[in-house]
A and B are shown apart, each in its own frame.
Chain A
């Protein structure tokens, strides 16, 4: 299971970075999304995997069963997903407006704010 996850993370990061290198605006956002998902999955996997033992407290009990998964990385990833949702939404809006303002989605056309 660890190996599968590691490979998934590797593929997500690789394809995310590949998309970031492309010249098309839309691919840029796709790249950011993939990169974010790769990071989330990595945090999740780095804290250790526990199969079939959710960190939920049963009715009437006061502590989760022994051997249950560590809930903290799940909470961290959840927070990161929520933040990623906001960031993605904003980048999409921005991309849409930037494309309309410049009339192109070629990244090479966006070189005015750097020009000397």
Chain B
């Protein structure tokens, strides 16, 4: 298959799967098998793309055949291809998980079409080389996530969705204004072309407004301090499968957009913002972890930890050394897998006991030792215990911080690591160690319940083994992150690939 075909395939597969799932809405069995198969095909396509990109460097293609900077460029460098692969992996895992999680009598036929639409938005955001097209992909994600959030229609979901919707629409408006002002001043929206034009310092001086607007818009999507309030207010309300895919992917798209912005098209503006980003990262880590300490329900605790972990990634970005950036990229990948898995485990707990509130839980270690193992691995990876994946991710970011002599921020990062561990031990002690409280007996197990748990346990077990593999054999993966980071810091290859990629429109 041609390189252009391989790039477009990443978008065609989720789009086609969403459409076919919509057509097959009458039959749950057909829809479910197509939904899972589509996710598997997307994973295979993403793996092929990553292999190709890692050997070539950058792939670019022009949608509609209109040459850049006039057409919309689809482009994949190592970072983008890596993100596409991990997202496809999460897509497949969540698709399998949802087979059980969403089967509760009511037929949620909307789930699979919207889920693949969401994946389409995520993959599009990673692959696009055009600022306005990025806005469109953000909106695709947003629309799909709105409806997914409210699947099931409970009052708490509606309330969570209301907060999510309002703040995200405001962010979209800011993004639109920022992008529009850039077009007004530079006459282009192609990211590579913007980067070329901004090498002229006089042009760059005019773009402070856009820079701040885009920082606010991406920061809100990523859940940066002080714009993260929508996240812990909504992520614990929807179905577990929906929570898991949101927790794994959505904020990471914001982080990816920030990385793209400050290494490519706003690289010229980065120096002005470095100090701000460093302190925003520190504040994000601290508020997230303190918020988690205050809560006593599994999914709420986990939601706050998303915020605090985003801080580490942005810290890596803000330091902007090759090691720090590689650490941030490694952190992104590790965090997507671990966080999705923690939500999976939280969901299994809710399935077994009917609640995620720590005060009503207990005795799970005795009752289901396998579940304890499934929780233990991602939880302690999140806390940064060697030799799990989180240790290497944290080590890279903190080592880069020490090398850059950012003492204050780095010590905050270390302290937050300890507090993260505290939160995880809190869940461990309350849900797994302590005795089941007498006034909250678990509901009796229905017959054949063990077999029905397979779709829930399988993705979680696969992700847990991935966490261990990344931890034990992280060398090649970290080498890949270093290559991706080197590519980000020298965007010339990216720019040339985009502006050269054959259009040849009639």
Give the residues in chain A near B294, CB-CB below 8 Å.
116
Which residues in chain B, 239-259, are within 8 Å of chain A measured between CB atoms? none
B300 → chain A closest CB, angstroms:
9
**For the side of the interface on B, what is the size category?**
35 or more
The answer, yes or no, to whether B166 is at the interface (CB within 8 Å) is: yes
- How many angstroms between the C-alpha atoms of A79 and B481 in the bound complex? 36
Mostly, the B contact residues are helix
Q: Does A91 count as interface, using CB distance less than 8 angstroms?
A: yes
Cβ of B179 to closest chain A Cβ, rounded Å: 8
Residues of B within 8 A of A90 (CB): 143, 146-147, 165
Minimum CB distance partner of B176 in chain A: A39
Q: Is the CB of B183 within 8 A of A39?
A: no
Q: Which residues of B contact A36 (CB under 8 A)?
A: 169, 173
- Contacts A76-B132, A79-B136, A94-B165 known; A39 to B233 CB distance under 8 Å? no
1/0 per residue, CB under 8 A from B, across A89-116: the answer is: 0110011011001100000001011101
Residues of the B chain whose Cβ atoms lie less than 8 Å from the Cβ of A44 = 180
Does B237 sit within 8 A of A, measured CB to CB?
Answer: yes
Closest beta carbon of chain A to B368's beta carbon, Å: 28
Known contacts A39-B176, A114-B232, A114-B233; A32/B159 CB under 8 A? no
Q: A36-B173, A43-B180 are in contact. Are A113 and B166 (CB under 8 A)?
A: no
Does B452 interact with chain A (Cβ within 8 Å)?
A: no
Q: Please name the residue on chain B nearest to A73 by beta carbon.
A: B183
Contact of A46 among B132, B166, B183, B229 (CB under 8 A): B183
Bound-state CA distance A112–B223 (Å) is: 20
Dominant SS among interface residues on chain A = helix
Q: Which residues of B contact A83 (CB under 8 A)?
A: 136, 139, 143, 172
Q: Is A86 an interface residue (CB 8 A)?
A: yes
A48: Cβ under 8 A from any B Cβ: yes
A80 contacts the other chain (CB 8 A): yes
Q: Are B159 and A112 in touch, CB under 8 angstroms?
A: yes
A87-B156 in contact (CB<8A): no
In whole angstroms, what is the CA distance A6 to B161 when docked?
33
CA distance A25 to B165 in the complex (A): 12
CA distance A101 to B153 in the complex (A): 9
Give the contacting residue for A113; candidates B132, B163, B174, B180; CB below 8 A: B163
Instruction: Digitize B201-231: 1 where CB-to-A-CB distance is under 8 Å, 0 elsewhere.
Output: 0000000000000000000000000000100
10 pairs, A vs B, C-beta closer than 8 Å? A35-B170, A43-B184, A79-B136, A86-B143, A90-B146, A98-B155, A98-B161, A101-B153, A101-B159, A102-B155
